[in-house]
């Protein structure tokens, strides 16, 4: 038996906070505060695993649609390979945002590496161990290089369009323990700064998710 | 929930399997559906649109209990079957956490189209030995257009570009 026609066609049309024990609170931009609060209750490890799992499911569906095998995605393997190689890198981009508790992310892993010795040589070695192949058809966004690795796509930045120096980002980075490796993750301030110019598209959603996250963090401190 | 290897099913796949095994009539929408259509719109939750009939909500209630569901940001608020089926009947949108990850449930498509209409157009995408009903790109676009929050407007150009690309590909075939 069908229930009566929906009196409120959009769940966001008349209220940002529908009633009920399991209701979801949404910001005016459209970011789920409920999910952000849920993420903040978790450890960095749990946030990473939760997002990897969701992305992996999305990739599996895409592969099913296209009739391909799903691409690899093992963010932890990439990060631990770079750490094990002794590279002084900082995790930036969507996966850094995820580790901080954001609800929006990226499929690719982005890191900031100083393009000088010894990190440049160590990076080459780590890329070899990850069976990395350079990806040449990525839009030129200023990244130093993009590789398809055995554990997923890796984008390496050596300078940032925002003018932030590698040294500054690294100095301010927070140390995060992922169980089997410990790595530097850019601060929320720096991640927001890296997206500050975003006015549209998925980067804008990531920026707004970070802003909402910061508001929630500030309100609980 | 730990990171599974490339060949292992994800926890979200297991969640989908659980819902389908309980005969819940649903369509995957939201970020994961958008990702399935080739756009890297990454979100951590599985969004599903469920047919809003009492029997379907009752089956959803059983599946939620089997997945140890609770309120997404309040783990102490457990979904209790059958008591909380009344919540599913009384309200329209829900955010759960489950042992397989976050799950958002909508009873009504943001554009208020009939579940049947959306369900007729779904693409059944294979994941392992399971076929997952995923909303058609045209319906995802319609939902985003109707919801019309800044978040929806931000992702719309990528969806429209993907739609153009799919139509070009279809014409070539």
- pLDDT tens for B116-170 read 999 999 999 999 999 999 999 999 999 999 999 999 999 999 999 999 999 998 8
Instruction: Say how far apart CA A139 and CA A206 lie, in whole Å.
Output: 19
Yes or no, beta carbons of A49 and B112 under 8 Å apart: no
pLDDT, mean over chain B:
92
Using an 8 Å CB-CB cutoff, list chain B residues near A72: 6
Yes or no, beta carbons of A22 and B53 under 8 Å apart: no
Yes or no, beta carbons of A58 and B95 under 8 Å apart: no
pLDDT, mean over chain A:
88
Q: Which of B45, B111, B125 sits opposite A54 (nearest CB)?
A: B45
Question: What's the pTM value of the predicted model, to 2 decimals?
Answer: 0.91
Q: Using 50, 70 and 90 to split pLDDT, how confident is the model at B34?
A: very high
Q: What DSSP assignment string belongs to B72-94?
A: TTEEEEE--TTTTHHHHHH-SEE
Yes or no, beta carbons of A65 and B31 under 8 Å apart: no
- Residue A33 or A166, more confident: A33
Interface test with A, best of B42, B91, B142, B143 (most A CBs within 10 A): B42
Interface ipTM = 0.94
The enclosing H or E element of A91 equals strand A89-92
Lowest mean pLDDT: which of A47-56, A68-77, A118-127, B63-72? A118-127
Instruction: Say how far apart CA A32 and CA A43 lie, in whole Å.
Output: 19
| Nearest in space to A62 (alpha carbons), one of B8, B44, B127, B135 | B127
Yes or no, beta carbons of B36 and A65 under 8 Å apart: yes
* Closest B-chain CA to A104: B43
pLDDT at position A198 is: 87
The tally of CA atoms less than 13 A away on the side-chain side of residue B48 is: 24
Sheet holding B26-29, edge to edge: B74-78, B70-71, B93-98, B101-106, B46-50, B26-29, B130-134, B123-127
By the 8 A CB rule, do A27 and A216 touch? no
Helices and strands (DSSP H and E) totals, chain A: 8, 8
Q: How far is B123 from chain A (nearest CA, A)?
A: 8
pLDDT at B2 over 50: no
Q: CB-based contacts of B162: which residues, under 8 Å, 6+ apart?
A: B37, B38, B39, B137
pLDDT at A78 over 60: yes
How many residues are there in chain A? 221
pLDDT at position B146 is: 92
Yes or no, beta carbons of A28 and B150 under 8 Å apart: yes
Using an 8 Å CB-CB cutoff, list chain B residues near A65: 36-38, 123, 125, 134
Q: List beta partners, residue B132.
A: B125
Using an 8 Å CB-CB cutoff, list chain A residues near B37: 62, 65
Hey, is the C-beta of A7 within 8 angstroms of any chain B C-beta?
Answer: no
By the 8 A CB rule, do A115 and A75 touch? no
- Stretch A88-102: mean pLDDT, rounded? 97
Hey, is the C-beta of A150 within 8 angstroms of any chain B C-beta?
Answer: no
């Amino acid at each position: 038996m069908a229930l009566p026609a929906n009196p409120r066609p959009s769940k966001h049309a008349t209220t940002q906070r529908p009633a009920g024990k399991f209701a979801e609170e949404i910001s005016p931009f459209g970011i789920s505060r409920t999910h952000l609060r849920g993420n903040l209750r978790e450890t960095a490890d749990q946030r990473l695993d939760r997002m990897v799992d969701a992305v992996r499911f999305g990739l599996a569906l895409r592969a099913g649609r296209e009739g391909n095998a799903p691409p690899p995605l093992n963010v932890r393997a990439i990060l631990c390979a770079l750490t094990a190689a002794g590279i002084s890198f900082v995790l930036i981009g969507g996966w850094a945002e995820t580790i901080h508790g954001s609800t929006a992310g990226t499929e690719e892993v982005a890191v900031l590496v100083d393009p000088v010795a010894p990190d440049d040589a160590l990076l080459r070695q780590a890329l070899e161990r990850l069976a990395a192949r350079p990806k040449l058809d990525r839009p030129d966004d200023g990244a130093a290089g993009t590789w398809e690795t055995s554990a997923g796509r890796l984008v390496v930045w050596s300078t940032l369009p925002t003018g932030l120096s590698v040294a500054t980002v690294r100095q301010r980075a927070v140390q995060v323990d992922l169980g089997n490796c410990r790595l530097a993750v850019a601060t929320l301030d720096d991640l927001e700064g890296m997206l500050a110019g975003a006015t549209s598209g998925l980067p804008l959603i990531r920026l707004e998710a970070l802003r909402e996250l910061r508001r929630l963090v500030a309100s609980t401190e | 929930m730990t990171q599974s290897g490339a060949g292992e099913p994800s926890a979200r796949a297991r969640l989908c399997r659980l819902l389908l095994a309980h005969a819940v009539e649903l369509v995957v929408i939201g970020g994961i559906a958008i990702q399935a259509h080739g756009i890297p719109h990454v979100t951590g939750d599985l969004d599903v649109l469920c047919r809003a009939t009492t029997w379907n909500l009752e089956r959803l209630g059983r599946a939620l209990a089997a997945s140890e569901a609770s309120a997404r940001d309040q783990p102490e608020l457990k979904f209790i079957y059958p008591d909380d089926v009344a919540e599913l009947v009384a309200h329209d949108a829900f955010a759960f956490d489950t042992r397989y990850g976050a799950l958002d449930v909508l009873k009504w498509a943001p554009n208020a189209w009939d579940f049947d209409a959306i369900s007729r157009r779904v693409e059944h995408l294979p994941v392992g030995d399971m076929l997952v009903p995923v909303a058609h790109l045209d319906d995802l676009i319609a939902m985003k257009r109707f919801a019309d929050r800044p978040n929806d407007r931000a992702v719309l150009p990528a969806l429209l570009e993907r739609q153009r690309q799919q139509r070009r590909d279809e014409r070539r075939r």
